[in-house]
Amino acid sequence: MKKKCLSLLMAIAMVLPVSVSVYANETPPPATRGEIVNTLLTAADAYTSGMNKEAVIQGYEDGQLREKEPAKKIEALVMLSRAFGELPKPVGNDLRSGTFGVEFTDVPAWAKGDIEKLAKAGVLIGNPDGTLGVNDNMTIAEFQTIIARVWALEGSHLNDDFYEAINKQWLNKSTISAGEIMGGGFPELHKQNNDKIAKIIDGLTGKPFAEGTKEQKLADFYTTALDTENRNKQGIQPIQKYLTAMDGAKTLDGLVQADLAMEKELGLSTLFRFTIMGDAKNSSENALYYTGLTTGLDKNSYVTEDAKAKEAYCQYITKILMLTGEEESAAKARAEKVYEMEKNLASVSLEPHEQGDVNKYYNPYTIDQFDDLFKEVDMKQALKSIKVDNTDKVIVSDVKLAQKGAEFLTESNLEVLKAYSKVQLLMATSGLLSDEFRDVANDFSAALYGVSGKKTDREIAVSMTKSTMGGYLEQMFAEKHFSPEAKKDVEQMVKKLIATYEKRIQSLDWMSETTKAKAIKKLDTMIVKIGYPDKWDTTLDKIAIKTYDKGGSLFSNTFAVTTASIDKLKAKLGKPVDRTEWGTSVYTVNAFYNALNNDITFPAGILQAPFYDINAKPEENFGAIGMIIGHEISHAFDNNGSAYDENGNANNWWTEEDFKKFKEKNQELIKFYNGIEIVPGVVNDGLLTLSENVADLGGMAASLQVVSEMSNPDYKAYFESNAKMWKSTTTKEFAATLSTNDVHSANKIRVNRTIVNFPEFYETYGIKPGDGMFVAPEDRVSIW
């Protein structure tokens, strides 16, 4: 079970949605030449002054326009080129997301000029064989998708593409920092927080502090993280004994014992992956969950047999194995076997959208049943070794993955398991080893996701200190960068939004009073966590941090903290859940809803400008952090969160009729957000992103209602603050990866496809039929 959060991966935002086709279950007819012209006269009107029909459709040699004949693709594209005239030169985000360098082999001479213009603009994609498909028919929906690419490139008319028009200046100048995968509002604030943390660390380094103080530990951890010379001297030595044990295993039991020995020392296992959190059916008590064997690529890359992903991943595995001393040919062969094993695991695993569904992930097994899953591994002994045997059940979060993993955990698969374990260990620790390992990881990111450059040693050291030494740094960050006044102000915003949500539930016309009462009870008991926890974690107090010259290292310091944290987690098994604990760092730029606790968390890290500014207009704050607060509240009532009651237990609180209506409304949302282009050729998945779309829609509904109740509300400030919050850019490769793995819609879709459901948007900007942002009232969606 994953906590629902605002943004697991801050999804890239690209191209404008088109209306849902009325031909839901049939193939739409091809567009006629006349329909193409009429579509363009409306679509290009704001971009080309004095445009008329004669300039768009010039007819055949005999003077006939043949407007009732189906339009060939080449005809439609040439007319589009004429209608829009000169196009802007792609820069910034448009240059990153468009398709360039394609020369189509089937373009007739009379159309070459227009097609070259569109190709240089990055708005055309062709067929795998290098053709454009000039004689293919084109539907209006397909044509509107290409028009939307041009609207995005222009970015000058908010009635057609609100997100692009509001953010165009930033998008055109946008860059992605070296070693990063995206830029935008979230990454920018993340960097600002990192800079603040770096200043805190700088204030500690080089000063004498008493041994055992938090200042000494922070300064010395950072020193080891920055000590490239000593880290490179150590090379692979910190994990050499574990690698030797894996390579030397003669039997399956030998490999298992090597893995369990490593787990005792590092808290790291490659074969046995468990976690401890609230029992979904009894959320007041902590339970043991088995998560199964993991994979290095996402499920979709394996299932679709993505050749580029396979090549990049196998090269990465080959290189890290070679860094351990293996010959290239042997390493390459092992990489192929590991890939095939992981492909088998991925093929049966849950889909990303299923992972938060309690009916999918909650599968309790008795200890005997769990042990019986594994024919050749003594799971009872493994549980005892890991010190998680003080329980009478194991909740298997992915049954088919567990079953497939058990099939691999046999003597006959010893060699591939040895390779798999070795690769998993190397991937888990490579950032703590020599620069060679980091360089290989950078090469992998570049090949798979288009990441360019790499972070500086200082940036990496700050990031490592921040993540590992959070118990101390978080407190310092909160004291310096989140005032009691801001905490109180945000708390008031949350109260106002919860009260507004209650009013909205009361006024629902599709829900019975019985279910409304249960929903409001869930709202009233929701735990709210703002800024920082009431008590700070003390795990670091018991840990010694040493520099290299005192016998420490980046590896030993990191795992000293890791093992202590894991021991703390194991000690919770079977104990009552502490609902006051935080599951995220204070400086995280994100927000969360935890269904098992029925709580919402807003760390100080995201409660910073431009998301929240105590001195900003209230409408601006409600358009940004207010919408985010409403978003997290809405997760209590999305397709996953709705399965839990006010105590965080998976327990049906719906009447049968109400739940049927709720599911129907979810289906409407799936269709509404589905099939919308993100980058050319890549579309949004309405089913994958359902839970987050429900939350976005509910979050905007609640925050916008708060604004509507203000005296003379400034709706422009609200909508434009919201659009600016989601500004984002990433590589085309990563945008495609997100489209099949991230449960969040692309950022642009989160803006453009959400605001069109609210009459205030239409009234504020004069949106009318024919505008790209217009959706007919009967086609708009709403749940909460």
373 close to 708: Cβ distance less than 8 angstroms: no
Domains of the chain (ranges, CATH numbers): 33-154 (no CATH), 234-459 (1.10.1380.10), 482-535+580-645+656-779 (3.40.390.10)
Give CA angle at 30 (28, 35), nearest 5°.
Answer: 110
Q: pLDDT at position 542, please?
A: 94
Which tens digits make up the pLDDT trace of 3-47? 556 553 333 222 222 333 333 345 789 999 999 999 999 999 999
Q: pLDDT at position 334, please?
A: 98
E strands in 689-742: 728-730
Q: pLDDT at position 206, please?
A: 86
Q: Give Cα separations from 46 to 51, 168, 486 (angstroms).
A: 10, 16, 43
153 close to 117: Cβ distance less than 8 angstroms: no
The dihedral built from the CA positions of residue 327, 330, 334 and 335, taken in this order, carries a sign that is positive
Residue carrying structure tokens 């190709």: 119
Which residue numbers in the chain have pLDDT < 50? Answer: 1-2, 8-25
Sequence-distant contacts of 332-339: CB under 8 A, at least 24 apart = 334/416, 334/419, 335/419, 335/423, 337/415, 337/416, 337/419, 338/416, 338/419, 338/420, 338/423, 339/310, 339/313, 339/314
Q: Which two tokens stand for residue 638?
A: 């999305």
Cβ atoms within 10 Å, residue 678: 25
Interhelix angle for 554-570 vs 237-248, to 10°? Answer: 60
Q: What are phi and psi of 121, to 5 degrees?
A: -80, -10
Pairwise CA distance, residues 422 & 317, whole Å: 10
Residue carrying structure tokens 């960050």: 477
* Strand, helix or coil for residue 279: strand
Q: Would you give the DSSP letter of residue 483?
A: -
Q: What are phi and psi of 467, to 5 degrees?
A: -75, -35
Q: Which two tokens stand for residue 24?
A: 């839901």
Q: Is 136 exposed, middle or buried (0-12, 13-18, 19+ CB in 10 A)?
A: middle
Rounded to 10 degrees, the C-alpha dihedral 61/67/72/75 comes to 60
Q: Would you give the DSSP letter of residue 778?
A: G
Written as one string, the DSSP assignment of 186-221 is HHHHHHHHHHHHHHHHHTTTTS---TTSHHHHHHHH
Q: Which of 533, 501, 781 is nearest to 662 (CA)?
A: 781
Written as one string, the DSSP assignment of 394-456 is EEES-HHHHHHHHHHSSGGGHHHHHHHHHHHHHHHHGGGS-HHHHHHHHHHHHHHH---S---
Which tens digits make up the pLDDT trace of 543-558? 999 999 999 999 999 9
Enumerate residues 6+ apart whose C-beta is below 8 A from 484.
none
